[in-house]
């Protein structure tokens, strides 16, 4: 088991609500110059969960299950930034109002730009949930460190999820199961951002033949992936030999420079993280949530 500073972490409450679905007043234009007008971010998404394909939906930037937010009118202000920052992937979320009061879910991602936190709930909870219901989260995980691997940065990760991920120590390296290795040249929207502890950045999917070659078209919501030659220590950037491990948090996109979004979990500037291909490396399988929840 990896040694961490878990006992030194701060656990702090944040509270939000279901994000209202948004829509553009006019059509968008995809990377081939074709207009489209499709469902996008926000809302209670009843039929898409972690474990489902990130491709193929009649949608753009679709978020699985329940995207949440603190303040839609001031989404870029400090309180909403705090809501996103403290809500780590794997944290428990509890509904505090309405017919679903007391029911629990799991944080599965951060979506930059929209400034949403995605939460997985069971189908029975979704049927009772409303857009007005309050969602309470005990934020826990920021500041997490791997004591034997000080050169590996850890972001947005609940320590209990880290324990359940089948990560192995191998000398001066750690081995991390992932479903795919993403070539550096595919990382687009969000590259250059300094906000590694919130948001995401996108795998560009304009070149369909190229993404099929690397199996990227098979990605699912909740997949753990390796971003090759990408450094997330002091900003999201290209660095030869660097490795970043992330989780797929929203679906494919039609705009140029966009595609499935990836939130950062682990990163190193040198190749001390070794990604190991495992088709089962998905948060839904590990935590038995989403499409793999027991009914």
Residue 148 lies in a domain: no
CATH number for the domain harbouring residue 186: 2.102.30.10
Q: What is the mean pLDDT of residues 128-154?
A: 97
Same-domain check for residues 234 and 279: yes
pLDDT for 253 equals 95
Q: What is the pLDDT of residue 25?
A: 77
Task: Indicate if 68 and 162 belong to the same structural domain.
Answer: no
Classify residue 2 by burial, with Cβ atoms within 10 Å: 0-12, 13-18, 19+.
middle
pLDDT digits (tens, 9 = 90+) for 89-104: 999 999 999 999 999 9
Q: What is the pLDDT of residue 29?
A: 87
Are 175 and 95 in a shared domain? no
- Say if 252 falls within a structural domain: yes
- State residue 15's pLDDT score: 97
| Per-residue pLDDT, 36 | 87
In percent, how much of the chain has pLDDT > 70?
Answer: 100
Domain contains 92: yes
Number of domains the chain contains: 2
Same domain, 242 and 113: no
The residue segments making up the domain with residue 67 are 7-140
DSSP, residue by residue, 212-272: HHTTGGG-BTTBEEEEEEEE-SSSSEEEEEEEEEEEEEE----STT--SEEEEEEEESSS-
Residue 182 lies in a domain: yes
pLDDT at 46 over 80: yes
2 falls within a domain: no
Above 80 in pLDDT, residue 295? no
Could you tell me the pLDDT band of residue 211, with boundaries at 50, 70 and 90?
Answer: very high
Confidence at residue 222, expressed as pLDDT on a 0 to 100 scale: 98
């Amino acid at each position: 088991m990896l040694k961490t500073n878990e006992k030194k972490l701060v656990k702090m409450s944040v509270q939000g609500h279901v994000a209202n679905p948004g829509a553009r007043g006019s059509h968008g234009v995809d990377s081939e110059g074709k207009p489209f007008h499709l469902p996008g971010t926000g809302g209670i998404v009843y039929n898409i969960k972690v474990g489902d394909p990130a491709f193929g939906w009649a949608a753009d930037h679709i978020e699985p299950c329940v995207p949440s937010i603190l303040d839609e009118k001031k989404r870029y202000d400090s309180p909403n930034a705090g809501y996103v920052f403290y809500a780590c992937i794997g944290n428990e979320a509890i509904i505090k109002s309405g017919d679903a009061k007391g029911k629990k879910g799991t944080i599965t991602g951060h979506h930059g730009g929209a400034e949403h936190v995605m939460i997985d709930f069971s189908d029975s909870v979704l049927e009772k949930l409303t857009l007005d219901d309050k969602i309470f989260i005990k934020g826990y995980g920021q500041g997490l460190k791997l004591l034997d691997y000080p050169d590996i940065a850890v972001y947005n990760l609940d320590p209990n999820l880290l324990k359940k991920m089948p990560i192995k120590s191998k000398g001066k390296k750690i081995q991390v199961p992932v479903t795919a290795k993403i070539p550096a040249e595919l990382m687009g929207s969000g590259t250059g951002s300094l906000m590694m502890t919130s948001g995401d950045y996108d795998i560009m999917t304009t070149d369909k033949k190229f993404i099929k070659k690397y199996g990227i078209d098979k990605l699912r919501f909740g997949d753990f992936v390796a971003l090759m030659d990408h450094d997330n220590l002091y900003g999201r950037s290209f660095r030869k030999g660097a490795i970043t491990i992330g989780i797929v948090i929203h679906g494919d996109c039609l705009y140029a420079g966009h595609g499935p979004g990836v939130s950062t979990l682990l990163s190193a500037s040198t190749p001390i993280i070794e990604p190991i291909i495992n088709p089962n490396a998905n948060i839904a399988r590990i935590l038995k949530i989403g499409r793999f929840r027991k009914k």
